[in-house]
Chains A and B, each alone.
Chain A
Amino acid sequence: MQLGPLDYGLWLTSFLLEAYVVVCSLFRKDFLRYIHLNVYMLAVGGVTWGQYHFIHTYGLNSQNYFYYYYYSDSLLCILMYLVIIHFYQEVFAEMNVSHYIRGAAALLLAATAFFSFIVVRQNKEHMTTRFVVELEQNINFVVVVLTYLLWGAILKLRETRTRLIQLVLALGVAFSATAGSYALRNLFPDASYLLRWVPPVMGVWLPLAWAYTLTKVPEDARLATARLAVGTR
């Protein structure tokens, strides 16, 4: 399999947007306020750059690229957990339950790591592409569930901060699309060619949506959350 101009275009766009989010935060003196989000964007940018380096040095079908992709994505997922936990802390800030959230997050991370360890141990004899797709699907799905619960909490607590709402919704869109595409690839391996575009497109979507929110939505903007739920007028 060879990479085409569209692959490189999506790669470059996502890398530039990730850099833009960080630079934009620095210029607006928001870097520390959104430190988790910025660290995640820096890490994704670094991983994107690394993927480019590995493909050009070892090739797309090499074992080196395969393991780089596999391990770097696991690392990104752990960072994404931290971003979501930070959002949880923002939403529940007034309830003073941040130590419970941190405890629950640590427990969830340990449980996910243990589950992944068991799955990897059972499959160490045949760590094929299909296995990686399955593991990716499960890890992304945990992120979707966490984001969905967070969205439920936002609706229930009538959170009104537009920035926070849009950041969480953009995250939900990106990870639900990615998890769905991995699940479809597992169900229909023949449709992999079409579905392989979903993760890179979502790799562009997430920094684009976050850049839009951080640039265009003022910090003090407020929104009636009840109007956002599907089914309301």
Chain B
Amino acid sequence: MMAALICVISVVAFLQFFISYCRSILATSRKVQLSDRVREVAGIANKNVAAEDFQRLLQLVRLCPERGDDQTEIRAVGTYYGFLHIIGRACRSMIPSLAAWSERERQSCSYFAAVALDRRISYSRDLLTQQAGDRF
């Protein structure tokens, strides 16, 4: 009985801590405005980034040279996105409000990926400029 109670409370606490931790990482990207350049590259027309764009944006991120300081964040957000995707699919018919919440969260993940892409594009351009400068 005691073990069952501890198990339930621990699982609920774990979900709350895990979601809040991932949100604290996502929050850093919320304040950042996407540049026109990344909107053009990624084909983002609206203010919000679609939830389904996450994987595509991540593929574009992987095409850019690594900055070396964003890998951990990207992996953590990727795990969170996968977790939300499972919740969204499982609750679509049973609990629509939870599915809608999962959709909003996945949009935040996509926005985070777009910000990461923007940073990597800027980094690539800086690298190119530096190389061109070294050549002359």
Contacts and interface: CB of A to CB of B under 8 A. Distances in A.
A34 interface: no
Contacts of A223: 24, 27
Given A141-B6, A180-B7, A183-B4, A173 B27 contact: no
A209 B17 CA distance: 13
Q: Interface of chain A, helix or strand or loop or mixed?
A: helix
Contacts of A162: 24, 28
A176 B23 contact: no
A169 B6 contact: no
B99 to A, nearest CB: 14
Given A216-B69, A223-B24, A231-B101, A176 B6 contact: no
B18 A183 contact: no
Interface in B1-54: 3-4, 6-7, 9-11, 13-21, 23-24, 27-28
A227 B23 contact: yes
B10 A176 contact: yes
Contacts, number: 84
B14 A230 contact: no
B72 A169 contact: no
Interface in A166-222: 166, 169-170, 172-173, 176-177, 179-180, 182-184, 186-187, 208-209, 212, 216, 221
A101 B124 CA distance: 51
Contact of B13 (A148, A187, A216): A148
**Per DSSP, are chain B's interface residues mostly helix, strand or loop, or mixed?**
helix
Contacts of A14: none
B104 interface: yes
Interface residues of A, number: 37
B97 to A, nearest CB: 10
Contacts of A216: 69, 72-73
B3 A176 contact: no
Contacts of B72: 208, 212, 216
A228 interface: yes
A220 to B, nearest CB: 13
Given A166-B24, A180-B10, A137 B3 contact: yes
Contacts of B18: 173
Interface of A: 134, 137-138, 141, 144, 147-148, 151, 162, 165-166, 169-170, 172-173, 176-177, 179-180, 182-184, 186-187, 208-209, 212, 216, 221, 223-224, 227-231, 233
9 contacts: A166-B24, A169-B21, A173-B18, A176-B10, A176-B11, A177-B10, A182-B6, A216-B72, A223-B24
Interface of B: 3-4, 6-7, 9-11, 13-21, 23-24, 27-28, 69, 72-73, 101, 104
For the complex of A and B, 10 pairs with smallest distance between CB atoms = A180-B10, A172-B17, A183-B7, A176-B14, A186-B3, A169-B21, A176-B13, A183-B6, A179-B10, A228-B20
